[in-house]
Chain A
């Protein structure tokens, strides 16, 4: 019989081989006990919706709590995936996570930024350039995101940083402006240069994986999903050591929503190891480039099983991209993704 009332020993293995152990107490989510023991589990919402604290159950019993919806698919649950924020241990358990112990160890902090520039780079995309306030600092890994506070409210929105950590104290974001969105509304009507925004972060496990640094990189971005990809790309550009081959496939809806063309053109000029492809799903008749989504621009010849892929875009694009990349021969464990959604 599994004992639901007493403490269990839970161990976690990180991708760098580090192992950590903690005791879980009855009725407490595994994540809370892990964090209380100082174990660097990545997390964010603590409510089962963001999926950041996902771990693979290697052995033991740790069912998900039924009253939390959870964003894991049934198939993922069957494969042993668990959200530590919404699972309880029913026996001694062993988990594995796919990031290194140093990645999760970064503490979330907050800071203020000044708005430097607001540039409409497409009909519905704004480039927001900011600078950290005097005395404030923020660290992040390329690919991670921040929560930006809307001035005079307590409301925050999450956006990936498009600039590199090297550019700090400057930070940039590409933000899709959506009718009715609160941050969108702020950007569309009220924002002024020198506004002060609060910033909280860093969040997210969407980061370049050290163990795959030498693999050919397939970067797939849809719309403002380009932001974290751009930060990753500029980081790869300045990596010490032999640089990997990179294929960046960027897709937008139409010419009107296309942005960053010049920036990508420059990256291609600066990087002998980079090829970029741009696709539009609903272009005008004049468009001579690829029609379709960013996956249409990737051929089976571009992909081999030793590639690594980073995908960011809408949840639909991400799901489709994973399916397509797997179909083209890439193993799931070599695909890392981040999806964004309307909220």
Chain B
């Protein structure tokens, strides 16, 4: 007696028997590129640890259903249209009467990116420049077709819309799956770092002032974003990996300020990292740097090297879903550095570096801008962080084909990325599906090859056509 479900008598209608005979004539073949399950399960690393962050390993195209920065406010002037791609989803942005609207940048008709040649006939819609399919900015509905206004398709279809929140000079977009209900969209603060001084008791910072936050009304954000050629996960793990600061030893900002930048920072306590999944706030991890839970390494006797700096440079990193870094007290007092590693494809990401400072008066703003232009952008965001960009690219070949996740040999300082991987596996709002029918889904597309032959680097913004 087999135990099966539900009560299923062995009735085999004649018709089924005949069908199965017909089937038997058709050769039954294995699917192409057959990965026998046994082969797929061969791994070198501790499989148990790895399986705890399996969902993270699947997230090559990013975590979807999260807020991401799309453009700086200054990059989208009134009536301007720009196209970007986030988590493999093409997105077109248009600003009308100050308000930014975001729609899926792929015409339902033939898949053309509307942002490539902006065509807008009024303040309510955007039209595809190819055949004139016209979409409502607020609802995404196909409102009309320029040269076919009575077609039956009108009002029956449309493109996905994406909620927008513009603050601190950044346009944030909630990048969602088509089916993600709009009423479930969380506020932006759920995808931003914790706020200080509200969190100062929870995460004390006796050595530096409360970090400014993007949502503070007097916060001013100045920064840059650029495209990196590596997977977004490799990029974000670099930001809060406490052993990576070795790459910054020779940086101009470190040497010119005689900063004490340790060779590395080791965890020496089991509570060196606190993770949290806040009810009405972010999910993230706090690293208790510059406390007795971490030990700075200032010399390596075997190699005969030591750190020469004399000026302490205290900072602390915390990291949040969907991949947001907060560096408190960096690169100067009263300033915090924010970073995002926004997935574009599975091998490109948009690297955002934003310095945030609270400025009470217009003079404060001017001073911050001057300092930013003359010192902080060239020495910190470029100089210093350029090294990080190179470091991430140098890991791309190892991780790009997936083998790195199995073959990496991690050490105790990697508690930070491992903690992040587990947390992200648990608390992400969705794993982006591999891009289909979008830029980057075909790696050596003719368009990309043309760009390469013309010496055009990977681009975040859609290349506009003009004719």
User: Contact residues of A with B, CB < 8 Å?
Assistant: 44-45, 47, 49-52, 71, 110, 112, 114, 116-117, 129, 131-135, 145, 147, 149, 154-160, 169, 176, 178, 180-184, 193-194, 196, 198, 200, 204, 223-225, 238, 240-242, 266, 269-272, 312, 314, 338-343
Contact = CB atoms under 8 A, between A and B. Distances in A.
A198 B21 CA distance: 11
A52 B427 CA distance: 37
Contacts of B177: 240
A156 B426 contact: no
B contacts with A: majority SS: loop
Given A112-B23, A156-B12, A340 B6 contact: yes
A contacts with B: majority SS: mixed
Given A129-B37, A169-B31, A158 B427 contact: no
Interface string B53-67: 011000000000100
Of B28, B36, B180, B427, which is in contact with the most chain A CB atoms at under 10 Å from its CB?
B28
B294 to A, nearest CB: 25
16 contacts: A45-B11, A49-B9, A117-B37, A133-B31, A149-B20, A156-B12, A193-B36, A224-B3, A240-B177, A241-B184, A269-B426, A270-B54, A270-B55, A272-B277, A339-B7, A343-B3
A159 B4 contact: yes
A238 B29 contact: no
B32 A184 contact: no
B338 to A, nearest CB: 25
A241 B181 contact: yes
Contact of B28 (A45, A112, A155, A266): A112
Contact of A45 (B8, B17, B20, B31): B8
The 8 lowest CB-CB distance pairs between A and B, nearest first, are A340-B5, A181-B2, A240-B180, A342-B1, A241-B184, A134-B29, A158-B8, A240-B177
B426 A270 contact: yes
Of B1, B32, B179, which is in contact with the most chain A CB atoms at under 10 Å from its CB?
B1
A310 to B, nearest CB: 14
B161 to A, nearest CB: 15
B165 interface: no
B176 A240 contact: yes
B412 interface: no
Contacts of A200: 16
A47 B65 contact: no
Contacts of B5: 145, 158-160, 225, 312, 338-341
A269 B427 CA distance: 10
Interface in B1-56: 1-12, 16-17, 19-20, 23, 28-32, 34, 36-38, 51-52, 54-55
B180 A241 contact: yes
Given A71-B7, A145-B5, A270-B55, 19 more contacts: A45-B9, A47-B11, A110-B16, A133-B29, A155-B12, A156-B8, A156-B10, A156-B12, A181-B2, A238-B430, A270-B425, A272-B277, A272-B427, A340-B5, A341-B5, A341-B7, A342-B1, A342-B3, A343-B9
B431 interface: yes
Contacts of A134: 28-32
B313 interface: no
Nearest to B5: A340
B339 to A, nearest CB: 25
A131 B37 CA distance: 10
A116 B55 CA distance: 23
B244 interface: no
Contacts of B31: 131-134, 169
A160 B5 CA distance: 7
Interface string B190-220: 0000000000000000000000000000000
A25 to B, nearest CB: 21
Contact of A50 (B1, B7, B52): B7
Contacts of A112: 23, 28
B3 A240 contact: no
B8 A50 contact: yes
B36 to A, nearest CB: 7
B421 to A, nearest CB: 11
B51 A266 contact: yes
Interface residues of B, number: 45
Nearest to A117: B37
Given A240-B180, A270-B425, A155 B37 contact: no
A221 to B, nearest CB: 12
B20 A110 contact: yes
A176 B1 CA distance: 10
A155 to B, nearest CB: 6
A242 B427 CA distance: 11
Interface in B306-350: none
A172 to B, nearest CB: 10
Contacts of A180: 1
B29 to A, nearest CB: 4
Of A134, A149, A200, A241, which is in contact with the most chain B CB atoms at under 10 Å from its CB?
A241
B160 to A, nearest CB: 11
Contacts of A132: 31
Nearest to B10: A155
A339 B5 CA distance: 6
A112 B25 CA distance: 12
B394 to A, nearest CB: 30
B422 interface: yes
B426 A342 contact: no
A185 to B, nearest CB: 9
B6 A114 contact: no
Contacts of B430: 238, 240
A70 to B, nearest CB: 12
A242 B42 CA distance: 35
Contact of A242 (B16, B17, B184): B184
B23 A341 contact: no
Contacts of A52: 6
A154 B179 contact: no
Contacts of B51: 266
Nearest to A111: B23
B62 to A, nearest CB: 14
Contact of B1 (A51, A71, A110, A343): A343
B287 to A, nearest CB: 21
Of A145, A154, A270, which is in contact with the most chain B CB atoms at under 10 Å from its CB?
A270
Interface in B166-183: 176-177, 179-181
Contact of A339 (B6, B19, B28, B176): B6
